[in-house]
Amino acid sequence: MNKKVLQRYLTYVLIGIGLALLPTLQGMGLILSSTVTIWGSIIFYAIVAIGLNVLLGYSGLISLGTAGFMGVGAYMTAHFTESLGWPFFLSLIVSVLVPTAIGLLVGLVSLRVSGMYLAIATLAVAEIFRRVFIEFPEFTGSFQGSRASFPVILGNVLDRDSTIVFLAILLVILLILTDNFTHSPVGRALLTMRASEPAAQAMGINLLKYKLMAFGLATAYAALGGVLYAHFVRFVFPTDWTLLLSLQILAVIVIGGMKTILGPIIGSIIVFGVPPIILTRLPVIGDIDGLSFVFNGILIILVILFYPNGLVYLGYDLKKLFRKKAVTTSE
């Protein structure tokens, strides 16, 4: 394992430690309880965005069905754990595998259509899911919603704070796994396919295989995000899984930085964290309902216009700028 890989892994671990310490900071009175809860949502939305980033950033395939697959995972785990009494990890595994299998079927469509046609096809799948959530109250509770509870791990019932720690640990594991995936021959094959499918075929890359892998991974992460949503928020409603959420997840990876591992975390903070943590607490902006989200939308537009590569590169660019100024000053 080379030095750069170790540095990346260390970065992921430090992020996880920082997130796991949030409940402790709240206990010390340094942050609000509501802020800790918001950071929990930032984590599971970042996990979903990491999967979509592999699909869009590395393979060049777009999906607007992310929210639908999240909803399937959320409803399944709520039903399994609350109605059937399944253990948390068994429910998690099944609630991820079933949507992933559906995602693989959707991946077959990508061989026929691409671009906006593929986006519309995945949106149609998500809308089918949303109607199912409404029309099958025996399973989903329809508009009354489904109830879930905090995870039970090894006989221990977690509370909100320990669930935050669990989410942080899971995020670190997924960051490392995704890093290995994208830096493997599979990741390089996806990038080649994204650049030119004919060139990829000429190099012997099986398009079906790699498109299915990308769709499967993105769907698995979305379903996992839905499972974590259900067991952290503890309520699931059909109005949660709309096109708006899919577009927000898409905005997360565009703002944070496509073809990056840490970009989705930064983007998730901007999209899901900045409005409730910062903007709603500002004078005037925070006093008018919905105005904070308008300003967040303006912020997103500014980032896309003036920093299209993603905010994940901001630190690197600032460091390069300071070095250039230091060299100029020394001369």
CA atoms within 13 A on the CB side of 101: 5
Q: Is there a domain that residue 283 lies in?
A: no
Share of the chain above pLDDT 70, in %: 96
Lowest mean pLDDT among 20-24, 90-94, 157-161, 295-299: 295-299
Please state the rounded mean pLDDT for residues 292-321: 79
Return d(Cα 165, Cα 173) in angstroms, integer. Answer: 13
60 close to 258: Cβ distance less than 8 angstroms: no
**Cβ burial, residue 230 (10 Å; 0-12/13-18/19+):** buried
Q: Token pair of 101, please?
A: 């299998």
Q: Is there a domain that residue 319 lies in?
A: no
Q: Is there a domain that residue 105 lies in?
A: yes
| Residue 328 pLDDT greater than 70, yes or no | no
Q: Is there a domain that residue 131 lies in?
A: yes
Q: pLDDT-derived band of residue 326, with 50, 70 and 90 as boundaries?
A: low
Provide the β-strand partners of residue 146. 236
End-to-end CA gap in the chain: 39
| Residue 315 pLDDT greater than 80, yes or no | no
Q: Is there a domain that residue 112 lies in?
A: yes
Q: DSSP string covering 276-317, please?
A: HHTGGGSTTTTTSTTHHHHHHHHHHHHHHHH-TT-GGGHHHH
What total number of domains does the chain contain?
Answer: 1
Give the CA diameter of the chain: 75
Domain residues for the domain of 72 are 3-242
| Residue 120 pLDDT greater than 80, yes or no | yes
Residue written as token pair 């399973």: 139
| Total-model pTM | 0.92
pLDDT digits (tens, 9 = 90+) for 177-226: 999 999 999 888 998 888 888 888 888 888 888 888 999 999 999 999 99
Q: pLDDT-derived band of residue 137, with 50, 70 and 90 as boundaries?
A: confident
Q: Is there a domain that residue 15 lies in?
A: yes
3-state secondary structure of 150: coil
Q: Is there a domain that residue 306 lies in?
A: no
Q: Is there a domain that residue 234 lies in?
A: yes
3-state secondary structure of 92: helix
| Residue 331 pLDDT greater than 80, yes or no | no
Provide the β-strand partners of residue 156. 153
